[in-house]
A and B are shown apart, each in its own frame.
Chain A
Amino acid sequence: MAFSSTAAATAAAAFASGHRSAACRPSSKSSSSFLGASFPRVSAVRRCAASGAPARRAVAVTVRAQAASAGGKKSVLIVNTNGGGHAVIGFYFAKELLAAGHAVTVLTVGEEGSDKMKKTPFSRFSELTSAGAKTVWGDPADVGAVVSGASFDVVLDNNGKDLDAVKPVADWAKAAGVGQFLFVSSAGIYTTSDEPPHVEGDAVKESAGHVGVEKYIAGEFTNWASFRPQYMIGSGNNKDCEEWFFDSKNTNPPAKILANFQIPTRTNLRKKRNLAGIVRKRPVPIPGSGMQITNIAHVRDLASMLALAVESPGAAAGKIFNSVCDRAVTFNGLVKMCAAAAGIDAEIVHYDPAAVGVDAKKAFPFRNMHFYAEPRAAKEVLGWTSKTNLPEDLKERFAEYASSGRGEKEMSFDLDDKILSAVGVPVAVAA
């Protein structure tokens, strides 16, 4: 892996950006060559660790701006999906980069005028442009033209799920000499195991599209990194309830957002519906024992991890990062937390999908199994820490829901009713 001593020095400076320390600034050529010894990455991180650089937080804007002006400013292109659970990742990442003083361009797939752009996070792009970001629209296959020939230090593909979608972007980036190529993959590619958690390095499903992408970029770039998320929550997600209410493509009944969960499939809707059921004091049907664990992170955790990779390219090079928080939650626990966030008790009804005759994939929004990855690489290699606090984050989500007045809307719960009647649980229709 090519790794110049200059890059090491830059990385060292950037790593310390949260903590003003002269020791980590590349003040002269001699310090660069010191860092460029056999283990430049190690040296860079060690020197900054010694100065006590804390994990990054999008808090002190002025500090970040200083860091950027010290020579660590990068120009970053985010190729962003125009819908789905991952859309919000690019939004938060952009904000994090902008706060750190980097130059950001967001290329959203499709057209600026499309209906998809009326939903969050796109409808909140003014928050990006007012902070200095450029926003463009187009086909990632023509990325070079769409960005009008601009050059970038870093490219994040937060769009493609397979090589067909990502290859044009990767090839363009390589030809254009982009220094660092980042990819938002998925923790869903891990093969199932008796021994949780999924950790970086564990076996993955070779046929998965994301795996094909990871292999390709690993072969094309010396400095690449892949980020594997699970589920996310956070304000500004793409799964807006009004859109779903009118979206005729949706085969599920319309739903309300109780907590804005992000998962990269349509089943996001069913999750909200189940949780919306809590507000209406309906029993919540949970398949199996409800002991299945999953990982739900606040999207700002993903953004901070991506930002750390940008600021420490040497450390991140050639690495895979599980982009998740560091706690598992059980299904039962999640329902209890949502209910607590809503200030009420929840009644959980467990059922066996096979016995009841429903497809758990349709009836329940999470994988009906343990699905739990841990962010070990990010912690070890980037010094990243998780800030997700699910009980608190859910309270924040509920507050947004409640203030939107959406708790009053009419909803149907056909599949739930089928389950509950099969299990023999009466449903008192709440006011």
Chain B
Amino acid sequence: MAAMASLKSSLLLPCPLSDFSGAALSISSQTRRRSWRSRGATIKVSAAADSKNILVMGGTRFIGIFLSRLLVKEGHQVTLFTRGKAPITQQLPGESDAEYAEFSSKVLHLKGDRQDFDFVKTSLAAKGFDVVYDINGREAVEVAPILDALPNLEQYIYCSSAGVYLKSDLLPHFETDAVDPKSRHKGKLETESLLESRDVNWTSIRPVYIYGPLNYNPVEEWFFHRLKAGRPIPIPGAGNQITQLGHVKDLATAFGLVLGNPKASKQVFNISGAKYVTFDGLARACAKAGGFPEPEIIHYNPKDFDFGKKKAFPFRDQHFFASIEKATKELGCTPEYDLVDGLTDSYNLDFGRGTFRKEADFTTDDIILGKKLVSV
């Protein structure tokens, strides 16, 4: 894993939490929302939330890093279940020393391999937890021992994926849409089915593409590498394929909002950004975020190339976006970040400071550009 240096800054880590009053009608899109956004201001802690004993499966890599902080701030006892390969806690870019000390002193760690089902069952049963946030579960078999260990579980909150939706010519995807039992994410679907079949209060969150500082999936990073190198951005097809990105902090907020929320009981929610974006548009947004000039975009037909095992582009080559109106309406939450703001946040706290997860690899770019130059 590439450098993930500890970074100091006096920037407060924003942790926006909606208040619940008048939720259904506070989301008017009639006016630009910038004026009332309180990002970076004081953290509002959800009122009257009983302190819960919360287990987070994962929590040291991306979503869980932000979610666990939010939960600790809300006064819950948070335990992270990980193998310990990544540091249990690390100071985030933009997080003050005081805040980090506060968090790291409170969060607990349960070391183990979640694939060791016997260990999972015995260790969890021994400790007992009120709520489980399953951030890194992939297969239903991983979840069964957790449910077995915690018969009095108040809520099982699962990080699923919008990748479960069956491809359609009618978009966006709504939670009621058909799912694809053959998709790459069928483990997520099977987990949702398991949760439904067991007598547990479950909530499933389906994000689309997640972005933000510390992203280990090269989403924005892929663009930033090319922009920094002054390289053209090769985009497959017409570049008008529409996708959708959601900021990790907004996702953490959403995860926080479903905790103990009766409206989330046995419900699925799509969570992502309020607007969608074309591939070409995303390249331009990343350029804006990093203060780069307008990028040169090269379109190509992926069928003309054989990239071997390498991925030439980080997004699925199709339209892929989901409606977040159910979460907006039921949970009273709208995303804080619009795309350029969110990408700017990611750039300022991560790539722009010289940190990234994967080294730049322009092999496939050169294949594309090489052939393109020849054919001109």
Which residues of A are at the interface with B, using a C-beta cutoff of 8 A?
Answer: 42, 45-46, 49, 193-197, 199-201, 288-289, 291-293, 318-320, 326-330, 332-334, 336-337, 370, 376-377, 379-381, 390
Contact = CB atoms under 8 A, between A and B. Distances in A.
Nearest to A330: B169
A160 B37 CA distance: 38
Contact of B32 (A45, A201, A381): A201
B281 A291 contact: no
B237 A291 contact: yes
Nearest to A380: B27
A291 B29 contact: no
5 nearest interchain CB pairs? A194-B281, A333-B169, A289-B238, A195-B275, A327-B170
Given A196-B242, A327-B171, A293 B275 contact: no
A326 B323 contact: yes
Contacts of A376: 29, 325
A197 B238 contact: no
Interface in B216-230: none
B285 interface: yes
A425 to B, nearest CB: 18
B25 interface: yes
B276 interface: yes
Contacts of A329: 169-170
Given A196-B276, A201-B29, 20 more contacts: A42-B22, A46-B25, A49-B24, A193-B281, A194-B284, A195-B278, A195-B339, A196-B242, A196-B278, A199-B275, A201-B31, A288-B238, A288-B240, A289-B238, A326-B323, A327-B171, A328-B171, A332-B169, A337-B169, A381-B25
Contact of B29 (A45, A330, A334, A380): A380
8 contacts: A196-B275, A197-B276, A199-B275, A200-B29, A201-B31, A336-B169, A376-B29, A376-B325
Contacts of B339: 195
A30 B12 CA distance: 49
A318 B169 CA distance: 34
A319 B169 CA distance: 31
Given A288-B238, A330-B169, A370-B242, A194 B278 contact: yes
B267 interface: no
A195 B276 contact: yes
A291 B275 contact: no
A380 B326 CA distance: 11
Given A291-B237, A332-B169, A194 B29 contact: no
Contacts of A195: 275-278, 281, 285, 339
Contact of B242 (A49, A293, A319): A293
A291 B25 contact: no
B241 interface: yes
A327 B276 contact: no
Nearest to B340: A195
B249 interface: no
B28 A380 contact: yes
Nearest to B277: A195
Given A201-B29, A377-B30, A194 B169 contact: no
Contacts of B172: 327-328
B280 interface: yes
A330 B30 contact: no
A45 B25 CA distance: 9
Contacts, number: 90
A329 B172 CA distance: 9
Contacts of B169: 329-330, 332-334, 336-337
Contacts of A200: 29-30
B319 interface: yes
Nearest to B284: A194
B240 A292 contact: yes
A125 to B, nearest CB: 34
Interface in B52-68: none
Contacts of B32: 201
A390 B171 CA distance: 12
B275 A197 contact: yes
A193 B241 CA distance: 14
Nearest to A320: B30
Which of B275, B328, B329 gathers the greatest number of chain A CB atoms within 10 Å? B275
A196 B277 CA distance: 6
A293 B319 contact: yes
Which of A200, A327, A329, A377 gathers the greatest number of chain B CB atoms within 10 Å? A327
A201 B281 contact: no
B170 A194 contact: no
Contact of A381 (B28, B31, B238, B328): B28
Contact of B171 (A288, A292, A293, A381): A293
Contacts of B237: 289, 291
A289 B170 contact: no
A201 B30 contact: yes
Contacts of B275: 195-197, 199
A177 B17 CA distance: 45
A200 B31 CA distance: 8
Contact of A370 (B31, B278, B329): B278
Interface in B31-85: 31-32
A193 B170 CA distance: 20
A49 B27 CA distance: 16
A196 B319 CA distance: 12
Interface string B266-285: 00000000111110111011
Contacts of B276: 195-197
Contacts of A201: 29-32
Interface in B89-118: none
A42 to B, nearest CB: 6
A390 B170 CA distance: 9
Nearest to B338: A195
Contacts of A332: 169
A42 B25 contact: yes
Nearest to B241: A291
Interface in B296-331: 319, 323, 325, 328-329
Contacts of A336: 169
A329 B242 CA distance: 12
A380 B282 CA distance: 28
A187 B31 CA distance: 17
